[in-house]
A and B are shown apart, each in its own frame.
Chain A
Amino acid sequence: MTYGNRNPLDSLDPTAMKEPKMPPTAPPVDQQAAARFAPARLDVVDLTASYRGLPAVADVSLTIEPHRVTALIGPSGCGKSTLLRCLNGMHLMAPHATVTGQVLLGGTDIYDPRVNPIEIRRRVGMVFQRPTPFPTMSIRDNVLAGVHLGRRRGRGTHDDLVEQALMRAGLWKEVRNRLKAPGGGLSGGQQQRLCIARALAVEPEILLMDEPCSALDPISTLVIEDLIKEIRETCTVVIVTHNMQQAARVSDTTVFLNVEYAGVPGRLIEAGPTEQIFNAPQQRATEDYTSGRFG
């Protein structure tokens, strides 16, 4: 896959968003303080995300409250991953991808051309389905990969930062004696926690997780689920999962998306406290899905 949309010639589609190199008036952000004390609220307003003009998910409006774990559930093809990727602008990295509507991070639309997308991706971190440690880097360098970005000087040792991030990801005890070993030598579950540590080291306000356990064994899955509940203390979590038990176990809020048949965009059916979505859904489709009647 390539990232064509970042090139001006590629964005002939008028709705395509370009990435400005130097935003003329980027909103001032005190990233560190914001991350430490109060993750911003995330409001999605009338969001439609398309590939090659075909909407994958349409007309989504949604609020993601700080310090909560929000789970996005729904059948395959309902656009939950696309929606997740819209929350930090990653969606536009795909070729021929476009977005309409708004994603307001603390009131600022992340798709405003004046907003620096790199800043957004630092504030809204992401963990992917498969663990992706950088294979040539040591465990330590993997954790610091994001921290070192954009800094030409002052590459300190960051020992405390490495320890802290690995502690938060629940990996410190297992790797503290081999921080210089390559990250690719860890087990799958450890690698995924390393990726979580790497994302947390940048101190994001919001952490997006795209089916983070689907490539892992049940024990590793449990470890990561426990982790998610702890991460909530410091940052907001949005998790895509096709495992309803997982959504019920880890999330405070659940958002159910559905797609009627292949070819039409997925839509938000119902969002609410997890308890309500699973025990007293307002919509018939939600009940059918959570009770396992389809999907």
Chain B
Amino acid sequence: MTGIPADRAAAPLRRGRGRGDRLFHSGVTAAGTVVVLVLLATVVFIVIKAWPAVSHYGPGSFLSSDRWAPSDAVANQADPNPYGILQFLYGTLVTSAIAMVIAVPVSIAVALTITDVAPQRLRRPLSALVDLLAAIPSVVYGIWGIFALIPALRPFGDWAATAFDGIPVLGTVFSGPFSGVSYFSAGVVLAIMVLPIVTAVCREVFATAPCAEKESAYALGATRTEMLRMAVLPRSRSGIVGASVLGLGRALGETIAVTMLIGDNVLSITRSVLGQGATMPSVIANEFTEANQPFHLSSLFVVAGCLLALALVVNALGRLIVRRTGENIA
């Protein structure tokens, strides 16, 4: 009979951990702590920097006006607050909305092409190509947008500027003239920029659709389109929402390309998507180096704080939606 050798059985259990293990453990813990600290420090720093403007003008005054006039800060230091930021909020939301309206359907289509439609041998290259879109630097998108995209969009822009005249909502949304650099141009570039991430997530989601369900759909006499609508898309709803939210998070914060394409009109809200405006990131990028009027820099930190809050709310909301829709499927 073979048993445990006596000497091994008698060996005492090692107490505690070895030195390497302890080192590794504390290293990992430190790294984890740093992430939390950095996030906290960022928030605290923004709040500290924004505080002078907020306490001077009152917290509500930023969100109740769309007049951004740093030069008025000296002339009229009392109310009203020359640093209204509604137009930046508007610009951020409008450009992101345009981006999502274009990018989400296209991404779903591209992802389905990659997972189920394209010839087998083209799927990997196609997928890699889409991922490569994400590698193009933001500033390259910006300069490409100015010199290639805007001329290409001009026929549509000029047409849209007059086509909806007199129609209640569309007439305002597309009131002319098309100014080239505009919410619309920025939105289209944003759409291209968020396409890779939305496509990548959708692709992963579609790829998890069980083969057995796909076959069941085919066995019932489904065409490929019907199979996709029956066995792939319904169960992917929450994934598509998640992908869109990830894309939206990117679109909200994207800076350089948007700054180059939106026209930097900080004065007030331009309603038409064909007109020029500014977003929260773009005004910060444009003005922080020359913010020498009283409370100008501090007001930019107010913008930064609002952007951070918006991004956090969108992410939280997205997660909530994903979790809710996810329950229906599982």
Within 8 A of B (CB), among A188-212: 195, 198-199, 202
Q: CB-CB contacts of A127-147 with B at 8 A, as 1s and 0s?
A: 010101011110000000110
Does B328 lie at the interface of the complex (its beta carbon under 8 Å from any beta carbon of A)?
Answer: yes
**Among A3, A121, A130, A150, which residue has its beta carbon within 8 angstroms of that of B219?**
A121
- Contact across chains for A128 and B226 when beta carbons are under 8 A apart: no
Q: CB-CB contacts of B114-136 with A at 8 A, as 1s and 0s?
A: 01111111110000000000000
- Contact across chains for A149 and B120 when beta carbons are under 8 A apart: no
**Cα distance A122–B220 when bound, in Å?**
6
Shortest B217–chain A CB gap in Å is 8
Provide the residues of chain A in CB contact with B3, threshold 8 Å.
none
**Interface-lining segment among B22-30, B93-101, B228-236:** B228-236
**Cα distance A77–B220 when bound, in Å?**
26
**Cα distance A9–B216 when bound, in Å?**
25
- Contact across chains for A149 and B221 when beta carbons are under 8 A apart: yes
Provide the residues of chain B in CB contact with A93, threshold 8 Å.
215, 218
Query: Which of B213, B219, B222 has the largest count of A CB atoms less than 10 A from its CB?
Result: B219
Does A7 lie at the interface of the complex (its beta carbon under 8 Å from any beta carbon of B)?
Answer: yes
- Contact across chains for A135 and B226 when beta carbons are under 8 A apart: no
**Cα distance A56–B56 when bound, in Å?**
81
**Among A10, A90, A118, which residue has its beta carbon within 8 angstroms of that of B121?**
A10
Does A232 lie at the interface of the complex (its beta carbon under 8 Å from any beta carbon of B)?
Answer: no
- Contact across chains for B219 and A125 when beta carbons are under 8 A apart: yes
**Cα distance A149–B222 when bound, in Å?**
6
Q: Which residue of B lies closest to A137 (CB)?
A: B234
Does B223 lie at the interface of the complex (its beta carbon under 8 Å from any beta carbon of A)?
Answer: yes
- Contact across chains for A88 and B219 when beta carbons are under 8 A apart: yes
- Contact across chains for A7 and B234 when beta carbons are under 8 A apart: no
**Among A1, A4, A8, A149, which residue has its beta carbon within 8 angstroms of that of B211?**
A1
Does A230 lie at the interface of the complex (its beta carbon under 8 Å from any beta carbon of B)?
Answer: no
Provide the residues of chain B in CB contact with A149, threshold 8 Å.
220-223, 226
Q: With A2-B116, A6-B224, A199-B219 given, is the CB distance from A136 to B214 under 8 Å?
A: no
Q: CB-CB contacts of B220-253 with A at 8 A, as 1s and 0s?
A: 1111101000110011010000000000000000
Provide the residues of chain A in CB contact with B122, threshold 8 Å.
9
Q: Which residue of A lies closest to B233 (CB)?
A: A136
Count of CB-CB pairs between chains A and B under 8 Å: 92
- Contact across chains for B212 and A2 when beta carbons are under 8 A apart: no
Does B16 lie at the interface of the complex (its beta carbon under 8 Å from any beta carbon of A)?
Answer: no
- Contact across chains for B119 and A7 when beta carbons are under 8 A apart: yes
Q: Which residue of B lies closest to A88 (CB)?
A: B219
Q: With A128-B216, A132-B212, A135-B329 given, is the CB distance from A4 to B119 under 8 Å?
A: yes
**Cα distance A287–B121 when bound, in Å?**
46
Does A260 lie at the interface of the complex (its beta carbon under 8 Å from any beta carbon of B)?
Answer: no
Does B168 lie at the interface of the complex (its beta carbon under 8 Å from any beta carbon of A)?
Answer: no
Q: With A9-B122, A130-B212, A136-B328 given, is the CB distance from A121 to B221 under 8 Å?
A: yes
- Contact across chains for A132 and B220 when beta carbons are under 8 A apart: no
**Cα distance A136–B21 when bound, in Å?**
47
- Contact across chains for B221 and A134 when beta carbons are under 8 A apart: no
Does B166 lie at the interface of the complex (its beta carbon under 8 Å from any beta carbon of A)?
Answer: no
**Cα distance A9–B119 when bound, in Å?**
6
Q: Which residue of A lies closest to B118 (CB)?
A: A7
Does B20 lie at the interface of the complex (its beta carbon under 8 Å from any beta carbon of A)?
Answer: no
Shortest A283–chain B CB gap in Å is 32
Provide the residues of chain A in CB contact with B237, threshold 8 Å.
136
Known: A137-B234, A149-B223, A195-B216. 17 other contacts (CB 8 A): A3-B218, A7-B120, A8-B119, A10-B120, A90-B218, A90-B219, A118-B221, A121-B218, A128-B216, A130-B212, A132-B216, A134-B216, A136-B235, A136-B237, A150-B221, A198-B220, A202-B220
Could you jot down 26 A-B contacts, CB within 8 Å? A1-B214, A2-B116, A2-B120, A3-B218, A3-B224, A7-B117, A90-B215, A90-B218, A118-B222, A125-B219, A125-B220, A126-B215, A126-B219, A128-B215, A128-B216, A132-B216, A134-B230, A134-B231, A135-B234, A136-B329, A145-B230, A146-B220, A146-B221, A146-B222, A198-B216, A199-B219
Instruction: Give the top 8 A-B pairs by smallest Cβ distance, nearest first.
Output: A146-B220, A4-B120, A122-B221, A9-B119, A126-B219, A136-B234, A7-B119, A1-B211
Residues of chain A touching chain B, judged by Cβ–Cβ distance below 8 Å, are: 1-4, 6-10, 88, 90, 93, 95, 118-119, 121-122, 125-126, 128, 130, 132, 134-137, 145-146, 149-150, 195, 198-199, 202
